[in-house]
Structure 1
Amino acid sequence: MLEDMRMFAAIVEQTSLNKAAERLNVSQPALSRRLSRLESELGVDLFRRIGKRLELTSAGQLTYEFALDLRRFHGSYLQKLNAYKSSEAQVATIGASLTTLQTTLPDLITAMTAKHPHLEIKAVTGKSHEIAELVKERKVDFGIVASSVIDDHALTSLPLFDDHLMLVLPRTHIILERTHFNISDLQGLPMILFAPGTWYRTMTDELLKKHNLKPDVRMEIDSFEAIIRLLSACRAGTLLPKSYLREQVLIDNDLFLVRIEELEETKRTTFLIHGNPAWLAPSTRYLIEETSAYFHRRANRNKDS
């Protein structure tokens, strides 16, 4: 059918069997026989023959429109198929909040570019609802956000991992001379907190309010790295997401994690969000699958450790 429609469209567009035969690199008699066979199979006349001129019938016009649609869909299919033939996407644009950029993307980008050396990853930052809009407007390939936007029916949300806050202290902090800790130890504790406006700070404030606690807040900073570097100098503690607190970060800054049961209740799920699956390029679908698989493997490693 595809070749028959290609042949028929060429006859229409060249306006004669002779010109169409030259374009298709076949003889005029052979092309005439193929046209007659097509009309016989369809059971309609596609052309009215007026001397040497061909004029489309109503059935022929309908068939030509179908031939154009088929040509367009076939071209689109081949274009998408080529993405599968490519070993990897060359550029991926990921939308993420500033906190996600600090906690989640560094390890993900390192892992993805190690596996795909020619992959270029771009990141666009914004608040979670802003990233959701960028995804819907197809200005980013996909987003990584907290769970506050998963009710949007225009988005598909895939859970990546759960996170919660943890207390971080310098190893020289006097409180570490104790062997047991509870939430009340935050009362009056010198602390550096993340700046207001993010879900980490919102969760912190809700936690403190719930337990009627007032730490001694020395600074409010919007950079995890700056907070980590200042803890020892300020002899202060902080509450940061577990996802950021990699072992090497703790070792390099001589820090210690304190397990407090109530902090594990501050669970928050991070999601990968994308738009209508029908509009995703094959390379984007592949990267989404790779990203989900990466966090699945990481979760399994954490369970085993």
Structure 2
Amino acid sequence: MEDMRLFATVVEHTSLNKAAERLNVSQPALSRRISRLEAELGVELFRRIGKRLELTAAGQLTYEFALELRRFHGSYLQKLNAFKTDEAQIVTIGASLTTLQTTLPDLITAMTEKHPSLEIKAVTGKSHEIATLVKERKVDFGLVASAVADDPAITSLPLFDDHLMLVLPRTHFILEKTQLEMADLNGLPMILFAPGTWYRTLTDELLRRHGVKPDVRMEIDSFEAIVRLLSASRAGTLLPKSYLRRQLLEDNDLYVVRVRNLEQTKRTTSLVHGDPAWLTPSIRFLIEETSAFFARGAHLPKELS
């Protein structure tokens, strides 16, 4: 990186002497650095015509790379400076109700551990409501349980695919079966997520597609409440894999049952943001970090994979 910076300065001054003065180093020292760079790359970067330096073809290519490196480094420092201020950096994230309960807690924990001065605010709503908040610039970016298609004002970045899993109390009679099919859910007492969300729509479409009619005992808009009520109600539920953790299951005496057709269901959680011109460098940086967080699979319960 440093040798590339020195090289670019020499190119821009077309003279070792002028570049050395600009860099506040001796001309012999700068000449040695350039010679070392040429030796490392295995090419000549300059043709020396009297006291003037002229780039070779390899030198021109290297100079273009040095400029790109300079630009990238400057952009990085600009983003980094957003986290060096004494004032707390504030980011407002919009989240659909399901992502608020499943993946947002782990993301917030990871972000605040990495950036202690970061202050995160969360606004919840249905996916289309979060999309509207993004367009109106009332949130910096959103996490929704589906892509926002056909809207040129919004960019959707798919983060990960999830699927439903059947969760039952460990004492449930159906666990005596060695193989479960969708038909086994017919008449099964169940607690489902409240209607009106994309997640519940996915569940209803799945049941309708397989002609299954469970005995729906309750409809609740909280995964935590559903989990706590299962054993007492002797009922099952369908929950996204991203929500389930071994400790959660053990604490509530529950068991995950694999059903082939359920594992074929998918929902895509996406990050949505508005016009990139609106985004500050620090918000762009956080969006990149969020994408990287999910790309690493840091949100997934590995013990259930």
Structure 2 SS opposite 1:269: strand
Q: Deviations over 1:165-187 (max 9, x none)?
A: 11000111111122111111101
Partners of 1:161 and 1:299 within 8 A in 2:
no
User: Where does structure 1 differ by over 6 angstroms across 4 or more consecutive aligned residues?
Assistant: 299-304
Structure 1 SS opposite 2:269: strand
TM-score of the superposed pair, with normalisation by structure 1: 0.70
Match of 2:215 in 1: 216
Q: Deviations over 1:185-244 (max 9, x none)?
A: 101111011111112211111111111111111111111000000000011000111111
Aligned length: 227
Structure 2 SS opposite 1:147: coil
Percent of residue pairs bearing the same amino acid type: 75
Match of 1:117 in 2: 116
Match of 1:139 in 2: 138
Q: 2:82 aligns with which of 86, 92, 96?
A: 86
**Distance in 2, Cα, partners of 1:269 & 1:287:** 20
**Distance in 1, Cα, partners of 2:128 & 2:114:** 31
Q: Aligned pair 1:197/2:193, yes or no?
A: no
Match of 1:29 in 2: none
How far did residue 83 of structure 1 move?
A: 5.3
Q: Aligned pair 1:95/2:91, yes or no?
A: no
**Distance in 2, Cα, partners of 1:196 & 1:230:** 18
Q: Deviations over 1:114-170 (max 9, x none)?
A: 111111110011111111111111111100012252321111111111011110001
**Distance in 2, Cα, partners of 1:222 & 1:134:** 21
User: Which segments of 5 or more consecutive residues in structure 1 lack a partner in the other structure?
Assistant: 1-77
Partners of 1:143 and 1:272 within 8 A in 2:
yes
Structure 2 SS opposite 1:96: strand
How far did residue 299 of structure 1 move?
A: 6.2
Matched letter for residue 291 of structure 2: S
TM-score of the superposed pair, with normalisation by structure 2: 0.70
**Superposition RMSD in Å:** 2.2
Q: 1:86 to 1:299 in 2, by over 3 A?
A: closer
Match of 1:27 in 2: none
Structure 2 SS opposite 1:149: coil
Partners of 2:188 and 2:214 within 8 A in 1:
yes
Partners of 1:93 and 1:141 within 8 A in 2:
yes
**Distance in 2, Cα, partners of 1:128 & 1:202:** 12
**Distance in 1, Cα, partners of 2:261 & 2:231:** 24
Structure with the greater alpha carbon radius of gyration:
1
Matched letter for residue 297 of structure 1: R
Alignment of 1:249-268 (within 5 A): 249-268=248-267
How far did residue 81 of structure 1 move?
A: 7.6
How far did residue 301 of structure 1 move?
A: 7.0
Moved more, 294-303 or 202-211: 294-303
Matched letter for residue 280 of structure 2: A
Give the helix-richer structure, 1 or 2.
1
Matched letter for residue 132 of structure 2: E
Alignment of 1:224-239 (within 5 A): 224-239=223-238
Matched letter for residue 140 of structure 1: V
User: Which segments of 5 or more consecutive residues in structure 2 lack a partner in the other structure?
Assistant: 1-73
